[in-house]
Structure 1
């Protein structure tokens, strides 16, 4: 399918492929069971939340898939990759009333943006935008999950719904459903015109906001993919639907809604006041839930300037303290270094003194040993000295060969063979 749709093409798609779009899940269907829990009612006439100033409270909203990001423009429902389908639903129900949503639909072939009112017995009211088309929005409804006919969906022209904010409102009574775009009525469904009332949504509904890839052939039937405008190329993403604000009114005034029987008719619904009302967020809460960015954006210029001045002053003080600590630490480190250097020099001097002392002691010891023992003749020289005799010089002739020897023969041999040499022959 191309991106430029014609009304006739819309009718054809509605007739062929609407079956796959109906919401067909409920945790407990009161038309099949009698022990389903009561539905928590909104409890007030009007509930408003602006997502440019507030974020969703989990008391009021239940994120059933993915996550929602809160940006300057509001709540962003974004598909970044295959499998993403961020969706939220209210924890409260309304029993007739109005639902108003200001939003921009998502771009992208096969991407579907949606607003859905859904009940426990599968009554349903829809808004749906196809990402490959920037000129139309589809309205639809279902009663008790009945998809036996395909004449419910209608496509309506809208100017640039992907890039411009538009107000999409449903006014719901037990007599009729009416859809509005920017305050202009675009469709009216009478009770009797919905199969004699059998397919008219008429039981308490919660509100769902979400985005999904109808053009994903791995998750959807061929008819759904074609209705969604063709295969989704995730490389073209991310794809975002942005909701600026939501306003809900509840025609009922109870805190709970209970099904009185299995007929699924609006007359069977009982409104109770046995519980406390739900604690709301947004403009209905004294303690509004906001992101830090939203809180900042909500401040006046004067307050912002004061805060900026205080923060800058604190930052400068922190920098000054840090610099002081660094300088002080550096000085302390320098002092410690000087002390350590002095200790090192003292230790080095002590080692040098010790070595010098040891060298001196060794020298003195060696000198003493030399005095006691002559280094020329050893013990023999000592013997000559002890007898008062002069030690003969080796290598020179004795002036009196043989003198002092008792053995004259021995003296003669010395005289004969040792003259002029100092050698002795044995």
Structure 2
């Protein structure tokens, strides 16, 4: 099936600029300068929206350079319309009461059935949306239909600002299975810790509920309410006593992305089912590949324990890579500078164009 477009209404195609210190990259051993204090999720120093979602406190100028992270709230997100989705993440100011999701890249579409479509074209590099609020342990369930094309990957993950990650991924044309995985602070293990879970009815044609039940002592993946994998924190503790277990506040992210392209490594291409066929009849007919999201539910593990005035998560002053310390605070998450055009970030600063997400409100017909 594909999206047939009737009466397309292009609502917005936004672009933005951010002030970035010229060629200044950042990591845990090379921190950002005070003139561009925030290390973005892509490893570049800057100001404004660089200090919001994805800002890495361990690579920024100080642990307090990044804005506090909006605290978790129980919610059931549906997509009858897109009024709670900001279609250009670079215009988000940190106010999670205004928007539930931001589009980091690509284009979203809304079907007449109230489904959110994430699209992939040869030009847009895929679509990713992120929750504006963070989860620090909790249960997240995404009800979705995946893609079905070789080289095209559908993903539902949690991602922290220091790269703790929990995954559900659906590579290529493998429409009877899903893959679970996790990463600790972006470290790629020598031996994969991923799992494959099969015997599903067609994941492209049928909705399934995919759950990440992330608790402080154990992590469970489930499909349609049935547990398929459990990982204990104790299973990840090394001889050095460090638990390499996701433990830091994370955004929920949904995406469709092109793994099967020449720029990818051969192993990635093979995992994704080969190179993408941009001459596929489905692509030619609809003008894109896509995945559909019906709903995302979030139950926060800390909602009852948090004080009534809780606004945000912050990293403690003694935080290190091996012992991140997270506190709940009443500090604001709003960065008033993120909405304005940023001035040049000190001597040698440059204007860098940031690709913006776009949204098309579509009278769509599923066939």
TM category, shorter: 0.5 to 0.7
* Corresponding residue number in structure 2 for 1:31: 58
Give 1:292 deviation, angstroms. 9.6
Residue 82 (structure 1) shift:
4.2
CA shift at 1:229, angstroms?
Answer: 0.8
Distance 2:297 2:100 in 1: 13
Partners of 1:225 and 1:235 in 2: CA distance:
18
2:80 to 52, 55, 70: 52
Paired position in structure 2 for 1:273 = 330
Q: Does the CA contact (< 8 Å) of 2:72 and 2:134 recur in 1?
A: no
Per-residue CA shift, 1:150-172, capped at 9, x if unaligned? 23111101221111000011111
Could you tell me how far apart the structure 2 residues matched to 1:31 and 1:192 are? 25
SS of match in other structure, 1:235: coil
Partner of 2:298: 248
Report Cα offsets for 1:177-212 as digits up to 9, x if no partner. 111100000110100112445320000000111101
Quote the offset at 1:102 in angstroms. Answer: 0.3
In structure 2, what is the Cα distance between the partners aligned to 1:189 and 1:137? 17
2:102 to 37, 41, 62: 62
Q: Does 1:222 align with 2:266?
A: yes
Q: Are the counterparts in 2 of residues 39 and 92 from structure 1 also a CA contact under 8 Å?
A: no
Tell me the SS of whatever aligns to 1:112.
strand
Give 1:147-158 correspondences, 5 Å limit: 147-157=188-198, 158=200
Write the distance in 1 (CA, Å) between the matches of 2:236 and 2:67.
27
* C-alpha contact (below 8 Å) 1:194/1:200 kept by paired residues: yes
Alignment of 1:22-421 (within 5 A): 25=42, 28-33=55-60, 34-44=63-73, 46-52=74-80, 55-58=83-86, 59-73=99-113, 74-157=115-198, 158-196=200-238, 198-217=243-262, 219-236=263-280, 237=283, 238-252=288-302, 253=306, 254-260=310-316, 261-264=318-321, 268-275=325-332
CA distance in structure 1 between the partners assigned to 2:323 and 2:291 by the alignment: 33
* Secondary structure in 2 matching 1:224: helix
8 Å contact kept, 1:30–1:262:
no
Report the aligned-residue RMSD.
2.5
Alpha-carbon contact 1:167-1:182 (below 8 Å) kept: yes
Shift of 1:262: 2.6
Describe the shift of the 1:266–1:91 C-alpha distance in structure 2 as closer, same or farther (beyond 3 A).
farther
Uncovered stretches (5+) of structure 1, i.e. residues with no partner: 1-23, 278-290, 295-426
Q: Deviations over 1:11-59 (max 9, x none)?
A: xxxxxxxxxxxxx846543334423324332443x11121135554322
- Distance in 2, matches of 1:276 and 1:41, equals 6
Deviation at 1:249, TM superposition (A): 2.1
1:108 aligns to what SS in structure 2? coil
The normalised TM-score by structure 2 is 0.65
Aligned-partner Cα distance in 1 for 2:68–2:279: 41
| SS in structure 2 of the partner of residue 92 of structure 1 | strand
Q: Is the 8 A contact 2:57 2:66 kept in 1?
A: no
Are the aligned partners of 1:42 and 1:255 in contact in 2 as well (CA < 8 Å)?
yes
Q: 1:111 to 1:293 in 2, by over 3 A?
A: closer
- Structure with bigger strand share is 2
Of Structure 1 and Structure 2, the greater helix share is in 1
2:147–2:173 CA contact under 8 A, matched in 1: no
Distance in 1 of aligned mates of 2:75 and 2:169: 23
Q: Who is 1:330 aligned against?
A: none
Give the C-alpha shift of residue 266 in structure 1: 7.4
How has the CA–CA distance of structure 1 residues 264 and 99 changed in structure 2, closer, same or farther, with 3 Å as cutoff? farther
In 1, Cα distance between the equivalents of 2:235 and 2:65?
Answer: 30
- Compared with structure 1, are the counterparts of its residues 109 and 43 closer, same or farther at alpha carbon in structure 2 (3 Å cutoff)? closer
